[in-house]
Structures are given as structure tokens and as C-alpha cells.
Amino acid sequence: MKIETLASGYGLIEGPRVDGAGNLYFSDVTNGGVYRRRPTGEIDTVVPKRRGVGGIALHAEGGIVISGKNICHVKDGETRILFAREDVPGWNDLFTDAEGRVYTGSMLSSPFAPAEGERKLGDCYRIDGEGRATVLYGGVSLTNGIGFSPDGRRIYHSDTARGLVLVHALDDSGRARPLTPIRVEGGPDGLAVDAEGGVWVALYEAGVVARFKPDGSPDRRIALPARAVTSLCFGGADLRDLYAVSADNSDDPARGGTIFRTRSEVPGLPAPFARI
């Protein structure tokens, strides 16, 4: 399987998201900044310096929604805060549903703290509008990737510190009922769901992206030339381009955080626009 290297030289890359023109948005959590890689390879700075951006969504009115110390919409250099809490120091990965609402997890302990240490448990929030949010469930030790099943009836949510992808069923009112989680070795980080309901998970400690069937059983693995694989997304005209990002590069450590691209036999699901 061919694996391309599209860019390197970053710290901990996160939040990959591809728009309809083939531009890839991504963040550098440790060094700061949100960037856009054009299909021709040029890279632009979209949001300078901002650290801790673990998730990115495209907004229906242009610009992007990003996480960090708050959840905000950045468009043409202007920032509109969508949601923040004084008792939440940071927010990590995020995703959108078909209605354009934003789902994200609160981080109450440092993501770089030892996994075996005691962590303050965070929650999953659904941001319904500017300044308005609903807590769907709690008990998330280290929040990471979020995604939905093709019918929107299940939400998947990586809890890296516990080695689980949490699974909840959503009813018509949006209430969440816990289902059996997917147990994942190697530190589940970012995730994406494909058109057949397969759940693709970046394994931070294993150097792979792994696909799990809707019933949670392992299906396939793609090894990458990096150990700390942090996130992934689908893109391309047929949604079969699979982008994966990392915090390192095992072929050449001097490259640091790297963006890879390969191909998937199964197309991914399109990521809905944020509309709040």
C-alpha cells in the first residue's frame, strides 16, 4: 500500500479536515497554529500561534471551528467564541452532526500527564448554539476523537487513557445511552467513520490506523512510518483518500510531526458543516 508524505517539520499535528477544494486543515498542538495545505502543496497559516487545538470543523458560512481554551469560529481573521467554561481549562477533538451542532469533550487534566495517574473525568458536550450546550455523558478520562455512525444513531468517542472507544446510542431527543465500548490497544486518539460504519482509529502508541467493524471487532490495520499517530480523516472526490497525522516520524526523526496520505477501499463519511 502506497503511503505518501505530504508535509513534515511540525510538533504534534492534530485535527485534520479536508474541504471540497482539497485543502487540508490541521493544527500543531505543541508549537501553535492552524494551517491549510493546498492541493498544490503550499501551506498557509490560518490561525497563528494558538496552542492546544485538538479539533477542527468547517463552518457552513466559511471559516473553521476550532478547540483549545474555548470552542470558537474563526473567519477572515475574526474570532467568535461559541462556548467556554471557566471550570474547563481546555477542549480537545470535536465533530459535527447532520444539523451542524458541535460535539466535543472537556479536558480537566493535562493530556500529557502519565496515563497511570489519577485524572479528573471530563464530559461530552453538544454545543447547540452560541453559549448554549448540553452535557450528553460524563466519565471521559482523556477525551479524543469523536464521530458518528452512518445513520447518526451512535456516537463514538476515544478515551485514550483508558484504551477505549466509548459508544453511545442517541435517541430522537439526543439523549445518550451507553453501549459496549470498543477496547483498543495502543492508545486510541483521533477517529473517523466510513460509509459502511467501520470505525478507523489512530493508535498513538502503535504507529498504525486501525479499522474496527460496527460490532467492535478488529478488521484491518495500516502501519505508518510514525509511532505517535494522532488523528485521521477522509477526503478526495471519492472520499477514499485517507489522511493520517502524527507527532513524530520513525523514518527520519528530524522530520517531526508528519502528514501522510494513503487510500482506503471503503469511502469515508462526509464531515457535516458546523452551523452554530
Q: Which residue positions in the chain have pLDDT lower than 70?
A: 113-117
What are 110's three cell numbers?
493535562
What is the structure's pLDDT at 204? 97
What is the structure's pLDDT at 115? 55
What is the structure's pLDDT at 197? 98
The catalytic residues are: 189
With contact defined as beta carbons under 8 Å apart, do 197 and 152 qualify? Answer: no
What is the structure's pLDDT at 10? 98
What is the structure's pLDDT at 114? 61
With contact defined as beta carbons under 8 Å apart, do 226 and 250 qualify? Answer: yes
For the stretch 184-197, pLDDT in tens is 999 999 999 999 99
What are 209's three cell numbers?
490506523
Instruction: Count the residues in the chain.
Output: 276
What is the structure's pLDDT at 128? 97
What is the structure's pLDDT at 255? 97
Q: Which residue segments constitute the domains of the chain, with CATH numbers given?
A: 4-263 (2.120.10.30)
What is the structure's pLDDT at 112? 73
- Alpha-carbon distance values, 240 to 102, 172, 229, 260 (Å): 24, 30, 19, 14
- pTM assigned to the model: 0.96
Q: For residue 197, which amino acid is it?
A: G
